[in-house]
A and B are shown apart, each in its own frame.
Chain A
Amino acid sequence: MREVRVEGLSKRFGDRDVLVDVSLHARPGELVSVIGPSGCGKSTLFAALAGLVEPDRGTVTVDGRPATGTTFGYMPQKDLLFPWRTVLDNTALGLEIAGVGRRAARKRAEPLFEPFGLAGFEGSRPFELSGGMRQRAALLRTVVQDRDVLLLDEPFGALDSLTRTGMQEWLEGMRSQFGWTVLLITHDIREAVYLSDRVVVLGPRPARVRAVVEIDQPRPRELASAAAAAREAELLALLRAE
C-alpha cells in the first residue's frame, strides 16, 4: 500500500493549456476519483502519471520518493485485450514486457483468475468473454504487474448499467481485500461517490482542480443510499457551476 501525492502538475500542448496546477493525493489503500467534463484533460493527467506524456511542471511522489516509470499500473478505457493471445497470455503481457519469462509470467497471473472471476477461461480467446469479464481481465493484467498505484481510466464506461453496477460492487470488494491504492477517472457521479474516499472535481478545459470532496461514509456502503444522494447532488452542482 502506497501513498501517492501529485503536486502542481501542468502541461501545455503547443499554446493550449491542458493541465494547470493539478494537485491531488491518495493515502495508502485509498481510492480517489477524478471527475470532470468530457475532454477536460482527465486522460492527459493519467497519461502524464503513466509516463506517456512528459509534464511541463509539477512533481509526483510515492511514499515521499519521486515516481518512476514503474510506479503506476495503467488501465485504459478500452480493454485492449489482444485477439492473438489467450486470456491468460493477455494478463501476463505486462510481466513479459518487464522481462519475466512467459512461463513464469503465466504462473504469476494464474492464481488471480479465481478471485477475478475468470477461472476456467485461461485458455479462451478474448472475444469469447463477456464485456464485464473483459474488463476484469484487463484489470487483472494491470494488477499482476504489481505496481504501487493503479490508474483506472473509466474502466466501466462501456458496460451496460446492470453489468456496471455489478462491477462497481466487485471492485469495491476486491479493493478492500487487496488494499490497492487507486486513482479512478469516471463520468459517473454515483460510481465516484460509491467507490471513493475522495473525489477531485476538475473544471472545463484546461483542467484545474475545482474542488476536492471527501467522502467519509463508512464501508461497506450501499449503492444509491440516501446519504450518498446528498454527496452526489453536491458533486453535480460543482460540475455544473460556471
Chain B
Amino acid sequence: MPSLVVVAVLVAVWQWAVTAFDVRPQVLPSPLRVVEQGWLFRDALWTNTVPTLQVTAVGFAVSLVVAWALAVVVDFSPWLRRALLPLLVASQTIPIIAIAPLLIIWFGFGLLPKVVVIALVTFFPVAIGLVEGFSSADREASNLVRSMGADRWGEFRYLRLPAAMPSFFTSLRIGITYAVTGAVFAEYVGARAGLGIFMNLQKNSFRTDLVLAAVVVTAAISVGLFGLTFLVQRLAMPWYAAERRRA
C-alpha cells in the first residue's frame, strides 16, 4: 500500500533528524524511543485504552440512536424538517472545546459528559447522511411503489430506507473517526482513566514519548474502527460492492 510507504519514509526522516540534530527527547523523542517506551509502559497504555474504547462505544451508540430517530422523524414530517435541520447545523457551531470543561462541572468525571461530547461531535454527520440518503430515493421509484399501493410507511420501508444505506455507511465512517477523537478529547479535559487523561498527565511530566505512544494507539483504534465499518457494510449490503466493481 502506497500510504504505508509514505509513513515509513516520514518515520525514517523523523528518526534521522532527531539523531542528526541531537534533539532532546522531552521536545521530540525519536520514533524508536516512542515505541520502546510505549512497549515498556504497555500495561498503563492498555488499562487506559479500555475505558477509551468503552466511552467511544457507548457515546457512538447513543449518537447513532439519536441520529436515526431524528433522521426518520425529519423524513416523515416536512414541517419538522424545516424546523430541525437549521438547529442541527447550529448545534455544530457550539465550540466543544469551551463546552467540554463545563460538562465536567455539570455531570462530573463519569461516563455522561464524555458521551455527550462524542454524541455532539458525531451525530451530525450521521444524521445528515441519513436525511440525504432517504431523500436520494428516485422520485419515479416513489411513484412506482405508490402505484403498487404503498403508503408513506411502505415507501419508507421498501424504498427510502434501503436507498439510504450507501450514504449511511459513508457518514458512519466519518462519525466513527470523530468518535475516537471526541472520546480522547473528552478524557483530556477530565477523567479518572483513559487515553486522553493519560496524554494529559504524561505531557505534564514532560513524557512526550508516552504522549506520542498514546497517539499511536489512538490512531490504531481509529483505523481499526474505520476498517470495521467496511466489514459491516459488506455484510449489510453485499450488492453494493459488486455493483460498484461492475460500474
Contact = CB atoms under 8 A, between A and B. Distances in A.
A74 B149 contact: no
B140 A78 contact: yes
A50 B239 contact: no
Contact of A76 (B143, B158, B163, B246): B143
Nearest to B243: A127
A51 B144 CA distance: 11
A83 B243 contact: yes
Interface residues of A: mostly helix, strand, loop or mixed? Answer: loop
A93 B239 CA distance: 17
Nearest to A151: B147
Given A84-B237, A127-B246, A145-B148, A47 B162 contact: no
A150 to B, nearest CB: 12
A98 B158 contact: no
B239 A72 contact: no
A204 to B, nearest CB: 23
Contacts of B237: 84
Interface string B126-143: 000000000000101101
A52 B146 contact: yes
Nearest to B137: A82
Interface string B10-45: 000000000000000000000000000000000000
A76 to B, nearest CB: 5
Nearest to B236: A84
12 contacts: A51-B146, A52-B147, A73-B147, A74-B143, A76-B140, A80-B138, A80-B140, A80-B144, A84-B237, A96-B158, A97-B154, A125-B239
Interface of B: 138, 140-141, 143-150, 154, 158-159, 162-163, 165, 237, 239-240, 242-243, 246-247
Given A84-B162, A84-B240, 5 more contacts: A74-B147, A76-B140, A80-B138, A82-B141, A127-B246
